[in-house]
Structure 1
Amino acid sequence: MTVNSNPNNHQNSNESAYKRIRIFDTTLRDGEQSPGASLEPEQKIILARQLAKLGVDVIEPGFAISSPGDFAAVQQVSRELQTVEIAGFARAMKADIDAAVRATADAARRRLHLFISSSDIHLDFQLRKSREQVLQIAREMVAYGKQFVDQIEFSPMDASRSGREFVIEMVEAVIAEGATIINLPDTLGYAMPEEYGEMFRIVRQQARGGDKVSYSAHCHNDLGLAVANSLAAIRAGATQIEVTINGVGERAGNCSLEELVMAIETRKSAIGAETGIVTGEIYETSRMVSRAMNFPIAYNKPIVGRNAFQHESGIHQDGLLKNRSTYEIMDPDAMGIPRSMIVLGKHSGRHALKHRLSEYGVKLDETQLEDLYNRFKVKADELKLVPDDVLIRLASETTATEHDPYTLTDLQVLAGTQRSRIASVTIRERDSEQERTYTGTGTGPLEAVIHCIQQAIPVAAEFEDLELHSLSTGEDARGEAVVSIVHNNRRYRGTAIHNDIILAAAQAYVAACNQQLLSVKPADNGASA
């Protein structure tokens, strides 16, 4: 896979056989419009820095006129990120344009992104204006914006549900007034790929001046076709695609950056295109956006979902252990995704168990492996997925040897509304065979517990992340905790399942620390052991 490590050093058409696709990221504007995804200005700035590191070509930081906070965020991003083009988003209204112009004044490179509806249903029921009135507004506002900036992107909103003749008429009008980029949005995610591609071909061929401007695609995912439609637009001549991280956005979201980019990278020859995205930053960017918006990522989300590079089937696991390409078409390491390709469940085979235990330095003979496998099958039927701490415990039972350096034997937490949370944790150390009790406090019960464990286990690791998942419903529901720690630029993940989610998180943290202490796998670009 070709990775452009310098997003500002792109190949030109003479140096590459592939068409260069510009990536326009609207996570901070259209993505933030997703219900519940609101971001503080400081969060937008942090994410914008990461987007620049990811290598996007254009950032749309917000809707400047919508609030003082959004204006300030757009302004600071424009001042700070001088290597990325900044798009000032505005309705076809003078007040919006003025706000966008002021907010982006300090950008090294900027454009205005103007929009107005073009479909009859929007004109009749939302704008309550005729086609002639809308055309006049579009002309006047593009001409007005052209006084301030050279680059103007124009979007006839709901273009995919508009009459082709009117879209062409509107595109001709704004090109005549100075628009330089034409975006044909599938605002409701309604189009089929063949229809969407055909719209681009017709507009490019039939609109006067249509061959003198660039074309962009902005697709929503209501029918799950945002990526497919964006690829259809590329084949039909679009050179810019508008995306969001994790596909966030209104309703079912927007075209997902990671899915589009990896489709292009993986099938580059078939598509005939390339991007300037630094693929090694994809996973970290995805996690940052998920955390900032408090939006969990679906397990089966392509590229960045928890199951995207995990395999439970014994047949798949055996093939992967022999050669990764047997069941994976992309290299997760190249996207910064921790290597955790094998998950252990009732479909797992003996080879997978042996491989996972070898990562902890545990070796079994054939008789022991068979005994462990039988124990494992019983536990897998009970738990569905067998976490590492349970596997190690099963191995200890099989070999009559304790493998975990540390074992959590007792935990108590005192919580209340008027005081700090107080925790008490008892840890058993394998080598000394001694149990010690530690106490700690925190603003929450988990923080108090982690402070206790950190006193007990001498691992200079950063507590990076905690995921909690409900595995059942009702009063006796069990929760799965997944804890990630980082030590010497390597990630280690511990998992645990229990009815008490605080206890599950504590056990997962101890399991991650044990994994780091037991791991015999050499470091490799921060991949998980």
Structure 2
Amino acid sequence: MSMIHIFDTTLRDGEQSPGASITPEDKVRIALQLEKLGVDIIEPGFPASSPGDFRAVQEISRRVRAAEICGFARAVRSDIDAAVKATEEAARRRLHLFISSSQIHMDFQLRKTREEVLRIAREMVAYGKQFVHEIEFSPMDASRSGEDFLYEMVEAVIAEGATVINLPDTVGYALPEEYGAMFTRVRSNVRGGDSVRWSAHCHNDLGLAVANSLAAIQAGATQVEVTVNGIGERAGNCSLEELVMAVETRKNTLLAETAIEKSEIYRTSQMVSRTMHLPVAYNKPVVGRNAFQHEAGIHQDGLLKNRSTYEIMDPEQLGVPRDMIVLGKHSGRHAIKHRVSQFGVELTEEQLDDVFKRFKQFADDRKIVTDDELAVLVGKAVDQAIVPFEFVDMQMMTAAASGSRVAAVTLRNTADGAVQTFTAAGQGPIEAAIIAMKQAMPVPVEFEHLELHSMASGEAAYCEAAVHVRARGCGYRGSAIDDDVIVAAAKAYLAAANEAVRSGASRAAAVSASSAVSEPKRDA
């Protein structure tokens, strides 16, 4: 097995996504998570680009000890000086130097001749080598470069001390067979090719970044440059999670593996998405909301019998919450029965028929049926309340003096039927509504994250809200649909809180029953 080193450039190339710029403090927080994820090399920024980036690279170099830190620089002395200074406290470090090698870049961007570019590449690698042993060199736009010149440039920088050669598909132009063949030819046609490590850096303009990176691995590359969630300029870079799981899932074919801690993949994806304000697409492989969701009845039935029927990865090993089955109009009886059993309710065949009929009618209108909505349908069939609290009404007011919002949320406690209104103020309407509902909960239920998605278009559009909460150290998720965004968010929080309360009650009952069984009988 060949060990593939994961070079993460989320904080450099990834941050170049429009609107993705983050503070130095956020960069440090993400870098520490990348270290926990197990990436081998972190490229935390472009030190010469701004004082903020310099500080971020410097602080990350001080605090990250397991991963190698890479200072990024153009083939320019001042860039190299900044990168050397910013990374000087790193436990292990390298310099990453680049200059364009394609004719179109040399003609229109650099406005230099081949001879001039070759001289700069040679001189700057030699200059950087005075300070750092590990030098990575990238001939930018390698996949569109003339191969004779590419050979000449790579050979020259190896002679000056480059230890890693990265061949970038800078504009995502190459096809997998072309990109893999380029590695094979360059490696075999340059002197010193067997003395350096080879790296792939692919952009996703044609959706081929992961495929091209896999082709490079098959052609001898032992390092792949990636970003979390595939973020980056234009259509982004090779996705860390997709590349890692492709290698993991097909390692016996690729004869390769990585050292990534898979259980940290989802957590890292969510951190980057929320910090950089770049939502993850529903259908994003590995970490997207739908990646392990199954609505079709045939798929749901197969999954309930054996997960491997329709899943080639185990989401729980990736840290993905096990929301395996989405209940919608295509769902079958087996999925409904399974989900209801998770509420602690066993239905008779007659009751299941009743619930299934109500469910189908409801799902035709709403597309997706949330757990709380299903619990209400079940409650009607069995004449028993399933959710601890039911949403009754909500009113929202604006405090004229402060501009804050005041929410009055009315809930029904299904245990005793009591209806009570809770009020609270907040800076925004969602905050006010959640603070109000927290007062009703028998345990602290802390709000963590909210996602809002439009479910239709036009004036009558309705919204789906998904809320993540934490209670007793465990995470819970609730969702709701409403044509009022604030109401949808409030109902989603209540759904998550109901799950937390219900889960806590189930655990308490189990502990109580266990204690009763184990308690020794006393003599009469």
Q: TM-score of the superposition, structure 2-length normalised?
A: 0.95
Secondary structure, in 3 states, of the residue corresponding to 1:411?
Answer: strand
Matched, 1:329 2:304: no
* Counterpart for residue 438 of structure 1: 422
CA distance in 2, matches of 1:377, 1:111: 59
Q: Following the alignment from structure 2 to structure 1, what is the Cα–Cα distance between the partners of residues 507 and 45?
A: 43
Counterpart residue type for residue 54 of structure 2: F
Residue type at the aligned position of 1:334: Q
The whole-number CA distance in structure 1 between the counterparts of 2:497 and 2:343 is 11
| Aligned residue type for 1:254 | N
Q: 2:396 touches 2:408 (CA, 8 Å); kept in 1?
A: yes
Could you say what secondary structure the match of 1:64 adopts? coil
3-state secondary structure, aligned to 1:456: coil
Determine whether 1:515 maps to 2:499. yes
Say if 2:476 is the partner of 1:492: yes
1:240-299: CA deviation from partner (whole Å, max 9, x where unpaired): 000000000000000000000001111110110011100000000000000011001000
Counterpart of 2:181 in structure 1 is 198
Q: Distance in 1 between matches of 2:284 and 2:10?
A: 17
Specify the alignment match of 1:379 in structure 2. Answer: 362
Q: Is the Cα–Cα contact under 8 Å of residues 399 and 406 in structure 2 kept in the other structure?
A: no
Q: Which residue is equivalent to 1:245?
A: 228
Looking at both structures, which has the greater relative contact order when contacts are Cα pairs under 8 Å and sequence separation is at least 6?
Answer: 1
Residue in 1 that maps onto 2:190: 207
Cα gap change, 1:216/1:389 in structure 2, threshold over 3 Å: closer, same or farther?
Answer: same
The answer for the alignment partner of 2:522 in structure 1 is none
Output the CA distance in 2 between the equivalents of 1:396 and 1:214: 63
- Give the CA deviation at 1:522: 7.5
What's the offset of the Cα at 1:29?
0.1
Which residue type is aligned with residue 96 of structure 1?
D
How many residue pairs were aligned? 506
The one-letter code sitting in structure 2 at the alignment partner of 1:501 is V
The residue aligned with 1:504 is 488
Q: SS where residue 357 of structure 1 aligns?
A: helix
Indicate the residue corresponding to 1:398 in structure 2.
381
Identity of aligned residues (%): 65
- Contact residue 245 and residue 258 of structure 1 kept, 8 A: yes
Partner of 2:322: 339
**C-alpha deviation, 1:308, in angstroms:** 0.2
Structure 1 counterpart of 2:463, from 479, 483, 504: 479
In 1: Cα distance, 2:288 partner to 2:277 partner = 15
In structure 1, distance between residues paired with 2:412 and 2:77: 69
Question: Does the 8 Å CA contact 2:183/2:219 hold for their aligned counterparts?
Answer: yes
Worse-matched range after superposition: 406-415 or 109-118: 406-415
Among 24, 31, 54, which residue is 2:7 paired with? 24
Tell me the amino acid that sits aligned with residue 124 of structure 2: M
- Distance (whole Å) between structure 2 residues aligned to residue 108 and residue 518 of structure 1: 48
Cα pair 1:359 1:521 within 8 Å, conserved: no
Whether 1:304 and 2:291 are equivalent positions in the alignment is no
- Hey, what's the Cα distance between the residues in 2 that align with 1:278 and 1:351? 34
Quick one: distance in 1 between partners of 2:105 and 2:181? 22
Instruction: Quote the Cα distance in structure 2 between the aligned partners of 1:186 and 1:76.
Output: 30
* Matched residue type, 2:71: G
Using the alignment, how far apart are the partners of 2:502 and 2:47 within structure 1?
52
- Report Cα offsets for 1:199-228 as digits up to 9, x if no partner: 111111110111111100000001111011
Structure 1 residue runs without a partner (length 5+): 1-17, 524-529
> Are positions 1:411 and 2:390 aligned together?
no
Counterpart position of 1:184: 167
What amino acid maps onto 2:162 in structure 1? Answer: A
Asked whether 1:258 is paired with 2:258, we answer no
1 CA distance for matches of 2:29 and 2:280?
20
Secondary structure, aligned partner of 2:303 = helix
1:371-427 Cα offsets, whole Å, 9 max, x none, are 111111111110011111111111122222222111111111123684221111111
Structure 1 CA distance, aligned partners of 2:221 and 2:398?
Answer: 57
- Where do residues 6-17 of structure 1 align in structure 2 (5 Å cutoff)? none
SS at structure 2 position matched to 1:346: coil
Contact 2:394 2:408 in 1 (8 A): yes
Task: Supply the distance in 2 between the matched residues of 1:143 and 1:192 (Cα, whole angstroms).
Answer: 33
Aligned equivalents of 1:45, 1:348: Cα separation in 2 = 44
How big is each residue's C-alpha offset from its partner over 1:425-472, in whole Å with a ceiling of 9 and x where there is no partner? 111111121111111111111111111110011233332221111001
CA distance in structure 1 between the partners assigned to 2:107 and 2:40 by the alignment: 36
Deviations 1:454-508 (A, max 9, x none): 0011233332221111001112210001112223443222111001111111111
CA contact (8 A) 1:459 1:513 kept: no
Find the residue that maps to 2:403 and give its secondary structure. Answer: coil
Given that residues 442 and 501 in structure 2 are in contact (C-alpha distance below 8 angstroms), is that contact kept between their aligned partners in structure 1?
no
The correspondence for 1:75, drawn from 53, 58, 70, is 58
What is the match of residue 140 of structure 2? 157
Q: Distance in 1 between matches of 2:281 and 2:131?
A: 43
Which of 449, 464, 470 is residue 448 of structure 2 equivalent to? 464
- Determine if the alignment matches structure 1 residue 139 to structure 2 residue 119: no
Q: Which moved more, 1:478-487 or 1:25-34?
A: 478-487
**Aligned equivalent of 1:5:** none
Counterpart residue type for residue 24 of structure 1 = F
Question: What is the letter of the counterpart of residue 355 of structure 1?
Answer: H
- Which structure 1 residue ranges, 4+ long, deviate > 4 Å from structure 2? 520-523
CA contact (8 A) 2:75 2:99 kept: yes
Contact 1:31 1:248 in 2 (8 A): yes
Find the counterpart in structure 1 of residue 253 from structure 2.
Answer: 270
SS of the equivalent of 1:36 reads coil
- Answer yes or no: is 1:48 the counterpart of 2:48: no
Q: How many angstroms apart in 2 are the aligned matches of 1:390 and 1:428?
A: 15
1:425 corresponds, among 399, 409, 414, to 409
Provide the rounded CA distance (Å) in 2 between the counterparts of 1:201 and 1:407.
Answer: 64
TM-score computed with the length of structure 1 as normaliser = 0.94
Answer with 114-123 or 357-366: which moved more.
357-366
Q: Given residue 206 of structure 1, which amino acid in structure 2 is its aligned partner?
A: N
Q: Which residue of 1 aligns with 2:277?
A: 294
SS of residue in 2 equivalent to 1:402: coil
- Match of 1:424, SS state, is strand
Q: CA RMSD in A?
A: 1.3
Of 112, 129, 135, the match for 2:112:
129
Deviates more, 1:354-363 or 1:311-320: 354-363
Q: CA deviation at 1:237?
A: 0.7
**Is the CA contact 2:18–2:233 (under 8 Å) kept in the aligned structure 1?**
yes
